[in-house]
């Protein structure tokens, strides 16, 4: 703790898992952004899947996404660069259970996609799903015809569908998302993005969304919770001058740490989370912890006390004025 307290601005980088509760994330930001003014405070997710959609919403000044329930009423679903069966099983189940009811699925992806065998047509953009590609689809829809047989099939499905839902990967570039919004509006569809870990929406609302990179910081503090650190994150921190890891499990990253602060598992804690639809949800402790084990919140509270920092608990206020791609129901 003394080592951290003695650091100057720009000397500390702080990384938090988006599997932490809103309460914990709010306190984490107060410690590392407020106490160390120029500190990098970010999420552990590489290529955070919520950040770009949030940035687009801020430009628009409003939310632009629909609800998962719209998948149950859809007669056409189009996925853009996301494998719902592999990466987002709940949304994938929503789609697959509607296929026998006549829902037509269009998969657009440059990579192999497990939903393709359920699809009426799969489009594989040669240069990826870019803003230019989305704009070309927009022009083809306006013209009512596609440039090739597969695209023509997709355009015909879109023309005849009345309840369309587009599902996209939230890590797309901002200009691609903007083009997709225009395509969605022309199509009369609803738009839903697939996001990152449990509290990914909350991390974006709190501004903890820039990708991490070492830039001369002398100390790095990582609050992993029960997240398994990626190979890239572990490698990027290999040469950190001083590394503190707050985590539930031992890992390659904790093995490299100068200080390890053990914490409880998520089911041993209570807190609030914002789901991908923007709905505020609470978790209850389902297992009592062994004596002397600390929650992630207790670790940060003790750290703040050592730093003579008074934490406030108004996490609702911290997110209430922020714009997200989903309407927040707090």
Residue 28's CATH number = 3.40.50.740
pLDDT tens, residue by residue, 264-314: 887 788 999 999 899 999 988 777 766 677 999 999 999 999 999 999 999
Residue 43: is its pLDDT beyond 70?
A: yes
Residue 102 placed within a domain: yes
Most confident by average pLDDT, 19-23, 32-36, 197-201:
19-23
Same domain, residue pair 109 and 147: yes
**Mean pLDDT of the 21-40 span:** 86
| Residue 223 CB-half CA count within 13 A | 31
Please give the full DSSP string across 49-110, using - where no structure is assigned. TTHHHHHHHHHHTS-----TTHHHH-SEEEEES--HHHH-HHHHHHHHTTGGGT-EEEEE-S
- Average pLDDT over the chain reads 90
- Which is nearest to 294 in space by CA: 263, 251, 260? 263
Query: Buried b vs exposed e over 264-287: b needs ≥16 C-beta within 10 Å?
Result: bbbebbebbbbbbbbebeeeeeee
Same domain, residue pair 213 and 313: yes
Give the gyration radius of the chain's Cα atoms. 22
Same domain, residue pair 32 and 141: no
112 SS3 class: coil
Same domain, residue pair 229 and 166: no
The better pLDDT of the pair 198, 63 is held by 63
Q: Which residues pair with 279 in a beta bridge?
A: 329
| Residue 24 CB-half CA count within 13 A | 28
Q: Domain range holding 204?
A: 2-50+200-320
Neighbours of 50 (CB within 10 A): 29
Q: How far apart are CA 153 and CA 329, in angstroms?
A: 38
Residue 56 placed within a domain: no
Q: How far apart are CA 330 and CA 318, in angstroms?
A: 12
Same domain, residue pair 157 and 246: no
Element spanning 26, H or E:
helix 22-29
Split into its structural domains, the chain has a count of: 2
- Which is nearest to 98 in space by CA: 72, 119, 121, 117? 72
Please state, in angstroms and as integers, the Cα–Cα distance from residue 36 to each residue in 14, 149, 275, following that order.
Answer: 10, 57, 30
End-of-domain residue from the set 144, 170, 194:
194
Residue 328 placed within a domain: no
pLDDT tens, residue by residue, 219-276: 999 999 888 898 888 998 999 999 999 999 999 999 999 999 999 887 788 999 999 8
pLDDT tens, residue by residue, 293-302: 799 999 999 9
Residue 234 placed within a domain: yes
Same domain, residue pair 119 and 92: yes
Which band of pLDDT confidence, cut at 50, 70 and 90, is reported for residue 37? low
Residue 163 placed within a domain: yes
Same domain, residue pair 82 and 190: yes
Same domain, residue pair 69 and 182: yes
Residue 165 placed within a domain: yes
Which band of pLDDT confidence, cut at 50, 70 and 90, is reported for residue 136? very high
Sign of CA dihedral 253, 254, 260, 263: positive
Residue 105 placed within a domain: yes
**Mean pLDDT of the 36-47 span:** 68
Q: What pLDDT, on a 0 to 100 scale, did the predictor assign at position 47?
A: 46
Q: What pLDDT, on a 0 to 100 scale, did the predictor assign at position 3?
A: 56
Same domain, residue pair 205 and 180: no
pTM of the entire predicted model: 0.87
Q: Which residue has the tokens 């002398």?
A: 218
End-of-domain residue from the set 164, 194, 224:
194
Residue 105's CATH number = 3.40.228.10
Same domain, residue pair 109 and 81: yes
End-of-domain residue from the set 130, 161, 194:
194
Residue 325 placed within a domain: no
């Amino acid at each position: 703790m003394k080592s951290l307290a003695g650091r100057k601005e720009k000397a500390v980088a702080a990384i938090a898992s988006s599997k932490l509760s809103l309460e914990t994330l709010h306190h984490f930001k107060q410690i590392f952004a407020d106490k160390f003014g120029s500190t990098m405070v970010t999420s552990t997710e590489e290529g955070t899947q919520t950040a770009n959609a949030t940035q687009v919403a801020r430009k628009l000044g409003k939310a632009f996404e629909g609800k998962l329930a719209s998948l149950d009423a859809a007669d056409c679903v189009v996925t853009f660069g996301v494998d719902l069966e592999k990466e987002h099983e709940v949304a994938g189940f929503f789609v697959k259970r509607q296929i026998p009811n006549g829902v037509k699925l269009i998969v657009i992806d440059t990579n192999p996609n497990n939903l393709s065998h359920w699809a009426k047509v799969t489009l594989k953009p040669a240069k990826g799903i870019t803003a230019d590609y989305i704009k070309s689809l927009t022009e083809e829809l306006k013209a009512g015809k596609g440039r090739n047989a597969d695209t023509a099939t997709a355009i015909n499905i879109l023309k005849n569908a009345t309840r369309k839902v587009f599902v996209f990967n939230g890590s797309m570039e901002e200009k691609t998302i903007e083009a997709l919004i225009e395509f969605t509006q022309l199509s009369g569809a609803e738009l839903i993005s697939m996001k990152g870990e449990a509290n990914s929406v909350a991390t974006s609302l709190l501004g903890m969304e820039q990708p991490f990179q070492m830039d001369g910081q002398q100390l790095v503090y990582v609050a992993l919770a029960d997240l398994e650190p990626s190979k890239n994150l572990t490698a990027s921190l290999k040469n950190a001058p001083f590394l503190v890891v707050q985590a539930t499990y031992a890992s390659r990253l904790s093995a490299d740490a100068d200080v390890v602060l053990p914490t409880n598992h998520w089911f041993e804690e209570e807190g609030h989370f914002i789901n991908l639809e923007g709905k505020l949800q609470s978790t209850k402790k389902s297992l009592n912890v062994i004596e002397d084990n600390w929650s992630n919140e207790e670790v940060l509270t003790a750290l703040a006390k050592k730093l003579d920092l008074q934490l406030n608990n108004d996490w609702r206020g911290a997110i209430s004025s922020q714009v997200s791609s989903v309407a927040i129901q707090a």
